[in-house]
């Protein structure tokens, strides 16, 4: 009986450490974050480590800032997924006193196509029969520090609304910090919202609508004088 108890203590009661679940990567404006849930029955005090693998990498690599995560913590993968067109996977396992769980692998992730492109910052002013727009992308920080992101062809999609009668049209132009929408009516108010797109990620969030007159509208006095002369 004693021998049986000893055998049970050394074998039957050695419960495997549960693997993490719901390993997923979310991304907003090319800022990437991995999240996960501890597996059911994970003991208190367990930690978690993250590794990544890209299509151009030969082996899984540990993420230095994510080797001792606690439940509820996320792993920032922005600096690890530097190639916006590569395909990556991440995996997570639990670690407890003398035990490690099996790995749980995320789905495949491509930084550029799987990110959500947020709205750009927009300001506009009139220029006679046109509007001048100053546009700053939400990804500007990455554009300055990642040449691979800079080399991507970015476009701006403008949604133009004429306040007077509600007429609307859309216009797509290559990204520049300053863009001009020409051939508008002088002295008329237009409202514009802008989104950014790429060939690899055509969907994005439009900015809030900004409004401006193309040129100062005629004053009441000038309109009265014109009526008197006619």
Q: Note the pLDDT of residue 158.
A: 97
Q: Note the pLDDT of residue 143.
A: 62
pTM as predicted:
0.80
Q: Note the pLDDT of residue 4.
A: 42
Topology of domain 17-114 in CATH is: Immunoglobulin-like (2.60.40)
Q: Note the pLDDT of residue 61.
A: 98
Q: Note the pLDDT of residue 7.
A: 43
Q: Averaged in consecutive runs of 10 residues, what is the pLDDT profile of the chain (230 residues)? A: 43 76 95 97 95 96 97 96 94 95 98 93 95 88 68 90 97 94 96 93 90 82 49
Q: How far apart are CA 141 and CA 213, in angstroms?
A: 31
**Number of neighbours of residue 225 by Cβ within 10 angstroms:** 12
Nearest Cα neighbor of 119 from 141, 136, 131 is 136
Tell me if 8 sits within 8 A of 51, measured CB to CB.
no
Q: Note the pLDDT of residue 9.
A: 42
Q: How far apart are CA 228 and CA 10, in angstroms?
A: 105
Q: Note the pLDDT of residue 2.
A: 43
Tell me if 139 sits within 8 A of 67, measured CB to CB.
no
Residues of the chain within CATH 2.60.40.10 domain(s) are: 17-114, 121-216
**CATH (residue range 121-216):** 2.60.40.10
174-185 b/e with 16+ CB inside 10 Å = b? Answer: ebeeebebeebe
Tell me if 157 sits within 8 A of 127, measured CB to CB.
no
Q: Note the pLDDT of residue 73.
A: 97
């Amino acid at each position: 009986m004693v021998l049986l108890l000893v055998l049970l203590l050394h074998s039957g009661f050695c419960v495997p450490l549960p693997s993490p679940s719901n390993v997923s990567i979310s991304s907003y404006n090319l800022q990437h974050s991995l999240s996960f849930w501890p597996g059911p029955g994970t003991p208190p005090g367990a930690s978690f480590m993250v590794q990544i693998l890209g299509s151009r990498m030969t082996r899984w690599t540990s993420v230095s800032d994510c080797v001792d995560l606690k439940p509820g913590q996320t792993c920032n993968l922005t600096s690890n997924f530097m190639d916006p067109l590569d395909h990556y996977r991440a995996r997570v396992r639990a670690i407890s006193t003398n035990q490690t769980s099996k790995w749980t692998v995320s789905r495949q992730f491509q930084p550029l196509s799987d990110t959500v492109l947020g709205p750009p910052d927009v300001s506009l002013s009139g220029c006679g029969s046109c509007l001048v727009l100053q546009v700053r992308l939400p990804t500007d920080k990455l554009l300055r520090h990642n040449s691979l992101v800079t080399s991507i062809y970015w476009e701006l999609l403008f949604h133009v609304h004429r306040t007077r009668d509600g007429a609307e049209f859309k216009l797509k132009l290559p990204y520049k910090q300053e863009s001009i929408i020409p051939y508008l009516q002088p002295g008329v108010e237009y409202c514009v919202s802008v989104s950014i797109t790429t060939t690899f990620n055509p969907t994005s969030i439009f900015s809030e609508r900004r409004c401006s007159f193309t040129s100062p509208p005629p004053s009441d006095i000038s309109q009265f004088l014109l009526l008197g002369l006619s």
